[in-house]
Amino acid sequence: MPVQNTLSVILAAGKGTRMRSDLPKPLHQIAGNTLLGHVMQVAISAGHQQLAVVVGPEMDNVREDSLKHSQDTQSYVQTQQAGTADALLAARSALTEHSGDVFVLFADTPLLRSETLNRVSDALEQGANIVVLGFEAEDPTGYGRLLTDAAGELTAIREHNDATEQERQTKLCNSGVMAFRCPDLLALLDQIENNNAKQEYYLTDIVEIARKSSLSSKAISCDEAELLGINDRVQLAGAEHKYQERLREDAMRNGATMIAPETVWLSYDTVIGRDVIIEPNVFMGPKVKIEDNALIRANSHLEGATVGSGSRIGPFARLRPGAQLSSGVHVGNFVEVKNVEMGEGAKANHLAYLGDGSVGEGANIGAGTIFCNYDGFRKHTTTVKKGAFVGSNSALVAPVEIGEGAFVGSGSVVTKNVPADSLMVERAPTTIKEGWAAKFRKLMSRHKR
């Protein structure tokens, strides 16, 4: 862990042309979080106290996204894409004001782990002035190479286009992630030139410049998959796949059961308790918490919801943002819950829509019940008190309250508050006309001739 103030500068100015999208690459998502958001969360988890994001011109939406993850994030604009050193120098004012370690991260590497950044910090603590994170690539073509001497000191980083054939035989590749503990980082950055095939200012040149100043550089490596960069939609899907595998494994190792884990979709912030059982084909969007011993049946969709301990959800249930379920709640097949608090032991087992309101402890919502929460202009709330019973196929027209222990007869349209322990029934009188059907069929048969 960093022992002094650490600044992470996240380079997020890439437009992502190969994404074929009007959305900047850092704002594409995996597991319910932007690529930039993933990298920022990793830096925060690693204990980095200051964050700066370098964006391109007219990328205010990237700047706004960064503030969602840390309100103290500073953003800087790289006016022209002239290389990674140029991008880092766009944050010159942050570097000038900062006196601790500096990390350079990239907004398109969402699989990076905070534990790896901690290893980089440890290498700085052990005496390195510069630490570069690398990986052993099965096919290093196109990657910059990390060149070391016999003592293991990092001597240079050579871009593939500028490397000799001998240097290209090296399989230790540059991820781009770097960290610095230098007396004057800006002085080193200002010495970088653009004498290369692309005529760009490569941050990687800083290793050789630092070496001339008797500063030490070290390379450490991690798994190649952790440093997967994203440049197009195919790589985006590949990163999603790997990240989902990671989330599922973490959930199962922490005590959850997934019957068919490859069919369960989680978000970056999903919280799953012990002895939770998740059946196949379940999707969880952001801000979902499932407490111990809950059962999530097949083909359910959850987002922005809390599921209390011992609750049963689904199959084919939908919990939308604001669904707050206490312990022992049952939400059954084809039930949708949105912005509703359900008390302990409450039930809505079949074919219902519950939107904007509350259902008290032990209350029962019958099949086909609807909370009529929207009048075309505003949302209104429905309150069902403790122990109330709402019969099947009822419409509760908000704002309305069903009192504690009250009964609502099946098929009722409730437009007024129902007092506690009352029975409310609203139905048209039943009319039966014997023989009507036979006469009707006879009449209609004449018209067919």
Q: Which residues are catalytic?
A: 350
Q: What is the DSSP string of 131-148?
A: EEEEEE-SS-TTS-EEEE
Token pair for 218 = 């070290």
C-alpha angle 310-316-317 in degrees, rounded to nearest 5: 55
What does the DSSP 8-state code read for residue 434?
T
Spell out a b/e string for 321-351, using b for 16 or more CB atoms within 10 Å of the CB, else e.
ebbbbbbbbbbbbbbbbbbbbbbbbbbbbeb
Q: What is the DSSP string of 303-334?
A: SS-EE-TT-EE-SS-EE-TT-EE-TT-EEEET
Residue type, position 357, single letter: G
Token pair for 379 = 């949302």
The kind and range of the H/E element at 355 are: strand 353-359
Report whether 203 contacts 11 (CB < 8 A): no
Report whether 325 contacts 343 (CB < 8 A): no
Please name which of 295, 252, 293 lies closest in space to residue 275, comparing C-alpha atoms. 293
Please name which of 55, 64, 73, 72 lies closest in space to residue 15, comparing C-alpha atoms. 55
| 137 vs 117: CA distance, rounded Å | 20
Strand partners, 390: 365, 408
Residue type, position 44, single letter: I
| 263 vs 374: CA distance, rounded Å | 35
- Residue 88 burial by Cβ neighbours in a 10 Å radius (0-12, 13-18, 19+): buried
Token pair for 210 = 């630092």
Token pair for 294 = 């809950």
Please name which of 323, 359, 366 lies closest in space to residue 342, comparing C-alpha atoms. 359
Please name which of 405, 350, 407, 356 lies closest in space to residue 378, comparing C-alpha atoms. 356
| 318 vs 243: CA distance, rounded Å | 24
| 314 vs 299: CA distance, rounded Å | 7
Provide the 10 A C-beta neighbour count for residue 7: 24
